[in-house]
Amino acid sequence: MPWSRRGHGRIVNGNATTISEYPWNLSIQFLVRHECGASIISTTWAMSAGHCFYDDVTKMLLRAGSTTRESGGVVFNISRVVYHENFNSTSLDNDIVVVQPSEPFPLGPNIQPVALPADGYEAPAGLPVTATGWGLDQNFQRPEELLKVDLYVDQTSVCSKIFADILPVTDSMMCAGNIHKGVCFGDSGSPLVSGNMQVGIVSWGDEDCEYPLAMYTDVGYMRRWIRNITGV
């Protein structure tokens, strides 16, 4: 069973960071509890994983501009959610959603959109990338502050083989990881960035959260769809 279906998440063996370093980070909150991550892509749109939105969105909020996951910053209701038309909640193919807040994000030092790649961009194997998010750490503790973990992109064909018994790896996915480091339950929807450019969205992986690789929605592959829906 992939960990994307098992609830709240963690960054494994990462380091503390601040929202000013990653000002596009959002916490998706269900009944005020952190549920998933997301990223700001413009003043009026955010982006996350499709499987994060299985609950009643009227009970979900977006928290922006805070290093602390369940306090501070600015909180928004969600006014619109658009799933990819080919999103499959079983296979997690096309695992992407774009979301509109109830009012525009007030841009400032701690609230900024992330850059997006060109249409069809393919992150090369070996590219250093960073995942950021909130949730349980390797000791299953609940740190309140934003965490980051440094990873590397790997060849999708490698992940296709090692995850063959979990889920099929499709064209909408990319893989990244590092030894004894990674993402896990509830980091779903969080951004995977190269510098200030988002290349992936945390999607799914092995139940062992220290497994060296995990799967991400490929933002370059989804770039045209994102523009068609949001104009971004």
Q: What structural domains does the chain harbor?
A: 3-16+114-220 (2.40.10.10), 25-113+224-230 (2.40.10.10)
- The one-letter code for the residue type at 50 is G
Quick: pLDDT tens for 164-219: 888 999 999 999 988 877 777 668 899 999 999 999 999 988 776 667 788 999 99
Tokens of 202: 């945390």
pLDDT the model gives residue 7: 42
Catalytic residues: 51, 95, 188
Asked if the model's pLDDT at residue 158 lies above 50, the reply is: yes
- The one-letter code for the residue type at 209 is C
Q: From CA 49, how far away is CA 14, in angstroms rounded?
A: 21
Q: What angle do CA 23, 85, 164 make, to 5 degrees?
A: 85
